[in-house]
Amino acid sequence: MEVLVKDIIEQGQQCLKQCGVADWKTDSMLLAEYFLGVTKKELLLKPDITVNSGQKEGYMEAVRRRCSHIPLQHITGIQEFMGLEFEVNENVLIPRQDTELLVELVLAFLKKSPKENRVLDLCTGSGCIAVAIDKLCENAKVTAGDISEKALETAVRNNRKHDASVTFVHSDLFERITGTYDVIVSNPPYIKTDEIKGLMPEVKNHDPILALDGDADGLEFYRKISERAPDYLKPEGALFYEIGFDQGKAVREILAQNGFSKIEIHKDLAGNDRIVFAKLERK
């Protein structure tokens, strides 16, 4: 039996709205694209488009899963980041749009020097930062580390999916990292332990805690990385962090204590402090 797509989407929207899914409208359409193979544009051009009842059931099952606050990206298994599609699952943080600014700033820095640049990405998770830099910068040679073997398995698949050539290292921060780098970049866990319980269910129940928890004050990883980074940075090298909206001042202090100067803080699209850039003061 054929069913009108617009009716199915309408039904999906009602369910998602009732369950308190914030982006119910967008999500109903994204699930339709994925499970019914119909884009918003097609639907606008052909409002009488139909699918069979099996497809409808697949869509409604996905809607039910989304209603239980499973993130959309875990239902589809993908998230777009820097124009590239990444596999995601419960072992990796879903790439966020804010993190694109981190990659954009690293790319702009790398573009200034035409030589081969060595880049180190710590806490790589899905590998989205490392793979995006590898694909979007011709002169970058990227190494990426993570403490989670499961995350690294996903990162390796993402590297393969994009035919990128990132080298992955199973490492607790710098533990197994060797050599020196032109850029060290990291989006480490930075949520205060106590604040995790107040996050959206999609985040606190489905993103790995390991990727969120920045210890009591949320700053533990900035302390650990900033302390050791000088040993792994080339003289003109730079460190780039993603930070929480209220961590700019504290992270600046941590960096200054560890010999960094020329510290810049960049704001995200919402006007919040989001990215920190720092270089070492060389005498």
**Where on the chain is the footprint of ligand GLN (CB under 6 A)?**
93, 96, 187-191, 203, 212
Smallest gap, in angstroms, from Cβ of residue 60 to ligand GLN?
A: 29
* Shorter beta-carbon distance to ligand GLN: residue 117 or 148: 148
Measure Cα distances from 147 to 21, 129, 177, 253 in Å.
32, 16, 12, 26
The tokens describing 101, both together, are 């600014």
Smallest gap, in angstroms, from Cβ of residue 239 to ligand GLN?
A: 16
* Shorter beta-carbon distance to ligand GLN: residue 22 or 46: 22
Smallest gap, in angstroms, from Cβ of residue 129 to ligand GLN?
A: 11
* Shorter beta-carbon distance to ligand GLN: residue 168 or 190: 190
Strands 78-81 and 50-52: unpaired
Under DSSP, the state recorded for 92 is S
Which amino acid type is present at position 183? Answer: V
| CB-count exposure of residue 76 (10 Å: 0-12, 13-18, 19+) | middle
Smallest gap, in angstroms, from Cβ of residue 214 to ligand GLN?
A: 6
Smallest gap, in angstroms, from Cβ of residue 55 to ligand GLN?
A: 33
Q: How far apart are CA 241 and CA 102, in angstroms?
A: 7
* Shorter beta-carbon distance to ligand GLN: residue 71 or 188: 188
* Shorter beta-carbon distance to ligand GLN: residue 38 or 102: 102
Q: How far apart are CA 24 and CA 137, in angstroms?
A: 36
Q: How far apart are CA 137 and CA 118, in angstroms?
A: 11
* Shorter beta-carbon distance to ligand GLN: residue 102 or 233: 102
Smallest gap, in angstroms, from Cβ of residue 198 to ligand GLN?
A: 11
The tokens describing 201, both together, are 């269910």
Smallest gap, in angstroms, from Cβ of residue 89 to ligand GLN?
A: 16
Q: How far apart are CA 87 and CA 174, in angstroms?
A: 25
Closest CA to 86 of 134, 142, 22, 40: 134
* Shorter beta-carbon distance to ligand GLN: residue 38 or 243: 243
The tokens describing 45, both together, are 């051009």
The tokens describing 163, both together, are 């035919």
What Rg value do the Cα atoms of the chain yield, rounded? 21
